[in-house]
Structure 1
Amino acid sequence: MLDLGSIDRADDRPPYRQIAASLRRLISTGRLPPGEKLPSEAELIAHYGVARMTVRQALQELRGEGLVVAEHGKGVFVRSTPPVRRLASDRFARAHRKQGKAAFLAEAEVSGHKPGVDQISVTTEQAPAEIAERLRLPEGARVVMRSRRYLANGTPVETAVSYIPESIAAGTAIVSTDTGPGGIYARIEEQGHQLGRFTEQVTARMPTPEERRALQIGAGVPVITLTRTAFDLDDLPVEVCETVKVSHAFVLEYDFPAR
């Protein structure tokens, strides 16, 4: 039997926030485990003695935090997708590309997820000023821009946009929807640009309306933004990738030597 608590009329918090706090506590302590169905609206109304709108506000708050998902005609469930562990020291290993695995595929499998990708768009455009600077391209230079959305167990967790100089990408599978085994980096290396190093910049912020729609998250769920630049062995930048990640869907893990 779940201990749903009760409404404290002396509490400064509105009732819906108190209900949300009680359900949040049950989720965080594992009393409501991933995949578990929450009590129905009718049950919550009866237990707390509140109006339906109050219960819906509480559930909406939890949905906005990414803690629960609503399934039409079935109810509200604790989100079941555990974080994808992003192993930064291993995700770009050449061994993965030789096995035909792109980075997200490799890390999703390690985390026990079924990876997927959709909403793929490939265009050739003039490089935005910041991207041209990162790629050391002259003003007006063109790049192949690849946009896609990544899924873990069917749930959107990340969007990514890669920019590759047209001089590298033209005439390769990089300009196709399916880049083939090993992904973009395998194709870049086939062009004679063996990868030597990467730099990454990581920030956090609230999502834009477009990002909320693409990632299917509420306005209260922050996102992680990561901008990566790939360099070949001659230290020539060969790709810039801008990713937007659902904050609760990832654990970013870095391994580096102490010097």
Structure 2
Amino acid sequence: MSTKQENIKQLIEEYIEVNQIEPGERLPSEAELSRLFCVSRATLRGAVRQLETEGKLLVKHGSGTFATCPLPSIPSSLDRLYSIGDMIRSAGLREDEQLESIKRMTVCPPDIAERMRFSENEPMIVLERTRTADGEAVAHSINWMPETLAGSILDEGSFSGSLFQSLELKAGVRIVGAYSELTVPSHDDAHMTRLLKHPQATVLLLKQLHYDELNRQVLYSLDYVRSDIFHFWVRRTR
């Protein structure tokens, strides 16, 4: 979504609030809204489509565009891409981390190469961290990135903070989405055992292939998380 469409989206939301448009009431026509906000119809349609996707508008072709009851926000909803740090903070916990290792590999393992559509000769950097909340280990992440991309971030041999932000600010790569598979790790998975600190703790594994604005696969992650801390939700529609 372009910056201009994002601005118009916000203006439409403000218009609905200021004019106290109730759920089920119709908004002005596309032509009227385009004139009101001084934008093209194409830009307006993009903003309206996004609001419809978010459940904030209902578009009935031939009838108009109507306000709806906003859907409740769901923490850790799987249809939104959140970092592990975001999820820890959203739970009201104090985030910290422990760097386990940064490794340079001259070849890419076959399974990773297949997922990322790389040659097995692609040099890779592997970042491994344990994430803590209020002093307890709650997540363990293994991130695979091509050296051509991650070298500028991890050359100093240390790392902390948001990987997403570092990729954007230092490498010019903005991650916009991911294909995520939620699984249960095998009982003998050594990475899982790092998080089994309490009898009631169980572990979930998120296998995530992240892509940028050009739909390039730029990051593959294995995120082990404690299920007594993280709760994932999916909003299903018909």
TM-score, scaled relative to structure 1: 0.55
Give the structure 2 partner of residue 230 of structure 1.
210
- Whole-Å separation in 2 of the counterparts to 1:171 and 1:205: 32
Alignment of 1:1-259 (within 5 A): 86-92=76-82, 103-125=83-105, 126-173=107-154, 176-179=157-160, 183-190=162-169, 191-208=171-188, 210-211=190-191, 213-217=193-197, 222-255=202-235, 258=237
* SS of residue paired to 2:228: helix
Q: Any gaps of 5 or more consecutive residues in structure 2?
A: 1-74
The alignment's C-alpha RMSD in Å is 2.6
Q: 2:131 is aligned with what amino acid?
A: Y
2-structure distance, mates of 1:230, 1:212? 22
Aligned equivalents of 1:111 and 1:220: distance in 2? 19
Aligned length: 162
User: 1:123·1:175 contact (CA, 8 Å) conserved in 2?
Assistant: no
**Distance in 1 between the 2:96 and 2:225 partners?**
15
Cα deviation code 1:136-168 (max 9, x no counterpart): 110221111000111121111111100011111
Moved beyond 6 Å, runs of 4+: none
- Give the direction of change, closer, same or farther, for the CA distance of 1:141–1:120 in structure 2 (3 Å limit): same
Distance in 1 separating the partners of 2:199 and 2:187 = 7
Give, in angstroms, the shift of residue 218 of structure 1: 6.3
Structure 1 unaligned runs (5+)? 1-84, 93-102
Whether the 8 Å CA contact 1:179–1:187 is kept in 2: the answer is no
Mark the CA change 1:173 to 1:254 in structure 2 (over 3 Å): closer, same or farther. farther
Q: Cα distance 1:185–1:174, how it changes in 2: closer, same or farther (>3 A)?
A: farther
Distance 1:160 1:127, change over 3 A: same
- Return the offset for 1:134: 1.4
| In structure 2, distance between residues paired with 1:197 and 1:241 | 13
User: Aligned residues: percent identity?
Assistant: 17
SS at match of 2:152: coil
- Residues 87 and 252 in structure 1, CA contact (< 8 A), matched pair in contact too: yes
Q: Deviations over 1:201-221 (max 9, x none)?
A: 111145436345422436885
Q: TM-score, normalised by structure 2?
A: 0.59
Query: What amino acid is aligned across from residue 177 of structure 1 in structure 2?
Result: S
Contact residue 145 and residue 218 of structure 2 kept, 8 A: yes
Q: After superposing the two structures, state which structure 1 stretch, 193-202 or 142-151, moved more.
A: 193-202
